[in-house]
């Protein structure tokens, strides 16, 4: 750990202990595959990669959450459980060959998602208070679960729902998908046999037909993608291409994504939107309201918290809350966090495990302190 952080290290460790979090050690060099599987192949470029003597791809840890969750799964620890970490991460974006120091908490297995979410935000504030000493903050909160509930209530085609959720938090990608869904249907040549299988939903017959075509072309079923995967991808491609959504649906979606209000007003604003659009948002809205109520009882200055319906992270493992905390006037976050209930299954667990966490970027705090002096 860099020497300049030695003075605040006891404060951070004491806060972790007061929150009932177990401080864990995470190896600096990690297997790269779990990070690539969860964060996406496109992130590989930003990792510092190397190779073991048995040709396993390794990397300097770009993140703490994934290895902490992997260790929890490996040990088979009971839940709920709270883990804390304190150390450097390494990434080429931004360049950090010397490491970016982070401290954070991973909260695993608490079934009360709304309370765990609020606690995570409060803990992030407490850690910032212990390092920046009472500075004013600006916090932005988003919620993928509410966006997902809106898509479902609008009856957007299922496969498009999945694609739109993956683009949540990436406005350019989301707008491009809206344009595809509203635009003219693309021309596609499909032979009559394929049309029949697709129209009737005969997946087994479609797979057998693809096997026959591969056989006639002397292509081994074990070469490249198997026939079952080709059939699945073809079905998905046709369904995506043929689905269209009325302009009125996009108008409602854009109305929702434009909501940006102080957190105290957010439940009423979302309820007003749902009523005007004739939508029922169910459990997602109930949890949203409860979380806002619990945050109100935490040591979080609500006047600094904004809820933005369009704020999210386009990563598959995020499932609900996302948040960032900044110093006003500086758009680089000092802390960020969110809920990732499906992370455990992406890492090999047989079923989802509720999880939420945050990371405070101590290197950024140090730079912010220097700018304020």
Mapped to the 3 state alphabet, what secondary structure does 50-83 carry?
A: EECCCCCEEEECCCCHHHHHHHHHHHCCCCCEEE
pTM of the full predicted structure?
0.82
Q: How confident is the model at residue 181 (pLDDT cuts 50, 70, 90)?
A: confident
Average of pLDDT values for 126-155? Answer: 87
Give the lowest-confidence range in 238-252, 259-273, 283-297, 311-325: 238-252
Q: How confident is the model at residue 79 (pLDDT cuts 50, 70, 90)?
A: confident
pLDDT, mean over the chain: 84
On the question of pLDDT at 184 being above 70, the answer is no
Average of pLDDT values for 172-190? Answer: 72
How high is the pLDDT of residue 187?
58
Q: Which CATH class is domain 138-171+245-326?
A: alpha beta
The string of pLDDT tens digits covering residues 228-261 is 777 676 666 666 566 667 888 888 999 999 999 9
How high is the pLDDT of residue 162?
86
On the question of pLDDT at 349 being above 80, the answer is yes
On the question of pLDDT at 218 being above 60, the answer is no
Q: What angle do CA 127, 32, 343 make, to 5 degrees?
A: 55
How high is the pLDDT of residue 246?
82
Encoded tokens for 239 = 């369904």
**Alpha-carbon gap, residue 102 to 373, rounded angstroms:** 22
**Alpha-carbon gap, residue 138 to 104, rounded angstroms:** 19
Q: Which amino acids are annotated as binding site, given as ranges?
A: 63-65, 102, 313
Q: Has domain 1-135+348-373 been given CATH number 3.30.1050.10?
A: no
On the question of pLDDT at 263 being above 90, the answer is yes
The rounded percent of the chain whose pLDDT value lies above 90 is 49
Token pair 């079905």 in the structure block, residue: 235
Identical fold between 1-135+348-373 and 138-171+245-326:
yes
Q: Which amino acids are annotated as binding site for L-histidine, given as ranges?
A: 63-65, 102, 313
Q: How far is CA 2 from CA 9, 98, 100, 362, in A?
A: 11, 10, 10, 11
How high is the pLDDT of residue 59?
94
In the chain, where the domains are located: 1-135+348-373, 138-171+245-326, 192-242
């Amino acid at each position: 750990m860099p020497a300049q952080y030695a003075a605040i290290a006891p404060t951070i460790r004491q806060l972790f202990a007061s929150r009932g979090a177990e401080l864990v050690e995470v190896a600096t060099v990690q297997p790269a595959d779990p990070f690539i599987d969860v964060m996406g192949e496109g992130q590989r470029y930003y990792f510092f990669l190397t190779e073991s003597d048995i040709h396993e791809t390794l990397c300097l840890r770009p993140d703490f959450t994934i290895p902490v969750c992997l260790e929890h799964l490996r040990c088979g620890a009971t839940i709920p459980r709270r883990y804390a970490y304190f150390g450097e991460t390494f990434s080429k974006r931004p360049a950090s060959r010397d490491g970016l120091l982070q401290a954070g908490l991973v909260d695993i297995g608490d079934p009360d998602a709304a309370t765990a979410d609020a606690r995570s935000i409060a803990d992030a504030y407490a850690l910032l208070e212990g390092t920046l000493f009472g500075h004013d903050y600006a916090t932005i909160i988003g919620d993928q679960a509410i966006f997902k509930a809106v898509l479902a209530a609008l009856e957007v085609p299922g496969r498009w729902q999945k694609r739109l959720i993956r683009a949540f938090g990436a406005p350019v990608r989301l707008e491009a998908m809206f344009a595809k869904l509203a635009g003219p249907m693309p021309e596609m040549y499909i032979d009559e046999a394929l049309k029949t299988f697709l129209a009737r939903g005969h997946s087994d017959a479609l797979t057998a037909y693809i096997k026959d075509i591969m056989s006639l072309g002397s292509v081994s079923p074990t070469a490249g993608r198997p026939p079952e995967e080709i059939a699945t991808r073809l079905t998905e491609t046709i369904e995506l291409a043929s689905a269209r959504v009325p302009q009125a649906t996009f108008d409602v979606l854009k109305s929702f994504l434009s909501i940006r209000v102080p957190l105290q007003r957010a439940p009423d604003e979302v309820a007003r939107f749902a009523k005007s659009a004739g939508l029922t948002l169910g459990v997602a809205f109930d949890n949203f309201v409860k979380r806002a109520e619990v945050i109100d009882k935490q040591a979080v200055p609500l006047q600094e918290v904004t809820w933005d319906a369009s704020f999210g992270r386009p990563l598959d493992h995020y499932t609900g809350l996302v948040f960032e905390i900044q110093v006003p006037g500086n758009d680089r976050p000092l802390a960020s966090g969110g809920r990732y209930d499906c992370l455990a299954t992406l890492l090999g667990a047989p079923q989802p495990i509720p999880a939420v966490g945050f990371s405070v970027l101590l290197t950024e705090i140090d730079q912010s302190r220097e700018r304020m002096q």
